[in-house]
Structures are given as structure tokens and as C-alpha cells.
Structure 1
Amino acid sequence: MDFKGKVVLITGASSGIGAAAAVKFAEFGAKLALIGRNYENLKEIAKKCDDAAGDKDEDSYGTPLLIRADLTDEETTTNIIAEALKRFGQLDVLVNSAGIIENGTIENTTLAQFDRIMDMNVRSVYQLTMLAVPELIKTKGNIVNISSVCGLRAFPNVLAYNMSKSAIDQFTRCVALELAPKGVRCNSVNPGVVVTNLHKSSGMNDEAYEKFLEHCKTTHALGRAGDVEEVANAICFLASDLATFTTGMNMPVDGGRHAMCPR
């Protein structure tokens, strides 16, 4: 996979899957625009990207552009593409990785929770993709959305999150059909449980998280939770010229969890 001369914009790049994808794209020579809420974390990820890029020349790589942004703020999101274009002059790949999760069933959820999750996981993706599409058409680029196995299968106690990821999967398929005549591809990856700070940031303590990961040995066919690099590999594949005939795909990267049923 070679992204030399390509500009890749990644949201949620300050941690987790987005951060791992940034490092992997840097390894393959991409120029990077990294978006996140935590600027200190973004700087650390930028250092890792520089290390991964190695001795690539400045024209093919360059120092990542770092943009601190709350994607639920409409005006802030509007400026992201403009900043990337000001720095790089083009956009080839959009990776929509930013997202949140919260626990809640139909019995104890709230409209406020629904709004928080849908604003972050769906509305911000909708807006940023709209803004990016004119540039992606120019470069015949592509989009990779980070969804979840929760978009493919039903799981209790994360109702609004499940709905948001199902929406992203349908968004992926629809955008793929709409942009295919213009040479722009759109795919998603659907991870199972991956070891990140996502669940802890939603309020899960260390002890509960360890029990959760232990439980993953029985809920994933491969007998474990996933690693961020495994998902990053899939993201880079879908964004690369190795996947030029793949669009509208919701790709499980979930250790087989999507294929499992209770026995």
C-alpha cells in the first residue's frame, strides 16, 4: 500500500483506532491532517507518525497538520476542510473515526443521551463528508467510516450507540452509490471490541473493563478482543489502490463476532 502524494484526513486521531490509522498511513507515506479534541495527544500521535514515516522526503510526507476541534460544533467542522486545503491543496482520503459510546436501554435512556450520540457519531460525519466530497471528486479519492459490529448486530444496553452505527452503515452504502459514477468510493470497517480507551471514557472503571475484556474470549470467535493496529490495517486497505473495486462495503473486523449466535 502506497499513499505517497496522497492527503489523508482522519478524525478522532488523538486516540484509539484513529490514532493507529494515522501512524499506519504515515508508514505508507501519506500526508496527514489529524483532527481531535485533545491537542496534547495529537502532538504525541504526530511524533509517532514522524517515526513511522522514517526517512521519506518532505514532498511525499511532511509534518502532520493538527487541528483541535469539537466535531459537534457546526462552525468548527466547516473550517476543517478549508484548513486542510490551505496546507495541502488537495484531499484524497477521509477517515471518519471520531465517536462516543454510552450505556442505556429503552427503559433508562434519555433524549439527551440520544442527541449526544447521534450528534457525534452521525451528524458530524454527515456534515464533514458533505464538505469533503467536492475535493474527493477532484482527486477520485475515497471515504472510510469507522462503524461497529453494533451496526450489524443487536446488543443490549447500548441502544443509541447501536442505532448510530446502523445509521453509519446505511450512510456508507448510500454515499457509495451516489458517488460511484464520479469515481469516489465509500466503505466502512465494523470492529468488534478493540482495546482502546473508548469504554473507559464512557465511565467503565478498570476492574469492570478487565472483566469485559475477559468476557470477549467467549463473545468473539477468535477468542479475544482486537488490537487497534488490526483495524488500522483494514482501514488502509480499503483506502488504498488495492481496493479499487470495493465500495459500499461494511467490513467486519471483529474476530468473527458478527457471525456468532447464541447456542
Structure 2
Amino acid sequence: MLTLKNKISIITGASSGIGKATAILFSNLGSKLVLVGRDEKALDETISQCNPEIKNDILKVAGDLNCADTCKNIVEQAVNRFGVINILVNAAGILKSGSLENMKMEDYELSMNTNVKSAINLTQLCLPYLIKEKGSVVNVSSVTGTRSFPGVLPYCISKAALDQFTKCVALELADKGVRVNSVNPGVIVTNLHRRAGQTEEVYSKFLENCKNTHALGRPGTADEVANTIAFLASDSASFITGELVHVDGGRHAMTPR
């Protein structure tokens, strides 16, 4: 049976979406938590939905991961509170639209900093503790990292970079017993697309179109992605590393006919 009992897990992006669902699931699987997000009130809402039995074993860290001091603070607080780090889930991310013709360079830079650089920075800071515990890293990527889509160039590039980071670091750390994997979701019902600027009408049509773009005929849920993250993070996946796991209803396998 899947368990994360006695594990110490850092989860970024825990204030919403996949990160929030992962935090709640991890709490129910027995993990002690370090939850990170920019919105302190939203983090409190996540904590309110976590397993009450571990409420005293949840550390909240509010801050912007694009700030190097925030990343250092996360690791320092985690180690001061719990002594060890077993699991790191890099779930924080943003979606910026744009094609080569109209993409703003500041959107590209923000996408790379948030979706890639912050994950690299935090993983590097956690590394001595992950090596000591033979821990696990799970990066939240996207089907856009392995398949090409027009109109979201900065997002696609950042997720492709995150996937390569996953595979390279998995090889670098394998002999130290640290496993590194990614989940690559398809369209998941969260606030990600609304925050990217989609109106309710556009977003509704976007979700409806998932009947055609996803083999299983629907978008996914944050809980479905969280379940996969929990498996990859756990000892049940002890012989899996360097893997990109599509949680996308078969979207990555779709081809036009």
C-alpha cells in the first residue's frame, strides 16, 4: 500500500492546482510537509484541507521562488524544523502565451525563471539532504515539454528544458541513490489557464475541445496528477528514475488523421 509515512516533503506551488492537490494527498499518506507558495492566505486554505493528524507537522513558507533568498529560506527552515529532506516536488509554474511573432521577452524570461531556474536552484540547495536520505525529486512538467504546440512558445520551451533537467540530473544522481522524475500533464482543470488570461467563455470552449484533443475524451483533474506524483516520490517507485510520465489522457500519443 502506498505510504509516505516518516517522509519530509517540500512541495512548491502548494497554494493552488496540482501543488495543492499533492499537498493534501501527501498529508493523507503520512508525510510531514513544507508547503511553499506566493499567496499566504491560499496556503492556509491548503493546510485547512490537509489531514488534521499532521497539522502540527506542516511548515508554511510564503515567498517568490524567483528570489534566491526565498529558496535558501525554504531549505533552512525545512532543515531547522525537521532535520532532513526526503522528497522535493517542484510544482510551481506559470503559463505565458505567445508566438515567435508576438512573444514578449519579459514573458519568456519569467517563464524560464519560474518554470526552470527556480526548480534547478531549489533542487541544488536540497541536494546534500536528498543525497543523505537517498531521496526523490518529482518535477511537474507538461505534455508541452514533449510535444509541440503553437501559441504558447515560452511555456513549451520552459517545460522542454525542465524535462531535460529531469533526465540529466537523474543520471548524475543515480549512483548516489537519488531518483528524479517528471510528470507531464495534459489539460488539467485548475486556474492555470485563467491566470494566463483566458476568459470564462474561452476556457469553457477549451475544456470542451478536450473531447477531441485527449484520447480519453476529457481534461484531467489535479488529484489524478497528484496520485502519480505520490507514486513516483514513494519507495514503491524505487526502480524508476529519469522518467517522464504523461498524465494526459493519451494526448501525447494523438496524431491527426
Q: CA deviation at 1:159?
A: 0.3
Q: Which residue of 2 aligns with 1:206?
A: 200
For residues 210 and 87 of structure 1, the distance between their equivalents in structure 2, rounded to whole angstroms, comes to: 43
Q: Which AA in structure 2 matches 1:14?
A: S
Whether 1:256 aligns to 2:257 is no
Partner of 1:43: 44
Instruction: Judge which range, 123-132 or 72-81, deviates more.
Output: 72-81
Q: Quick one: which amino acid aligns to residue 210 of structure 2?
A: C
State whether residues 46 and 63 of structure 1, in contact with CA within 8 Å, keep that contact through their aligned partners in structure 2.
no
Q: Which residue of 1 aligns with 2:149?
A: 155
Quick one: distance in 2 between partners of 1:243 and 1:97? Answer: 19
Q: Does 1:169 align with 2:163?
A: yes
Q: Is the 8 A contact 1:14 1:37 kept in 2?
A: yes
Gaps of 5+ in 2: none
Amino acid at match of 1:158: V
2:13 and 2:117 mapped to 1: Cα distance?
Answer: 15
Counterpart AA for 1:243: A
One-letter identity of the residue aligned with 2:225: V
**Matched residue SS, 1:67:** strand
Partners in 2 of 1:205 and 1:77 — Cα distance?
A: 33
Q: What is the CA–CA distance in structure 2 between the aligned matches of 1:225 and 1:105, rounded to whole Å? A: 24
The equivalent residue for 2:12 is 11
**Within 5 A, what are the aligned runs for 1:49-198?**
49-51=50-52, 56=53, 62-198=56-192
In structure 1, what is the Cα distance between the partners aligned to 2:234 and 2:123?
18
**TM-superposed deviation, 1:62:** 3.3
C-alpha contact 1:144 1:238 (8 A) present in aligned 2: yes
The aligned counterpart of 1:2 is: 3
Give the Cα separation in 1 of the matches to 2:28 and 2:3: 9
Aligned to 1:225: 219
Scaled by the length of structure 1, what TM-score is found? 0.96
TM-score, structure 2 normalization: 0.98
Distance in 1 separating the partners of 2:116 and 2:42: 24
Question: Alpha-carbon deviations, 1:104-137, whole Å to 9, x = none?
Answer: 0001002111101001001101100100111000
**Secondary structure at 2:10 match in 1:** strand
Report how far residue 262 of structure 1 moved.
1.0
Q: Which runs of 5+ in 1 are unaligned?
A: none
* 1:122-174: CA deviation from partner (whole Å, max 9, x where unpaired): 11011001001110001111100000000010000000100000001000001
The alignment of Structure 1 onto Structure 2 pairs a total of residues equal to 256
Equivalent residue letter for 1:225: P
The letter for the 2-side match of 1:4 is K
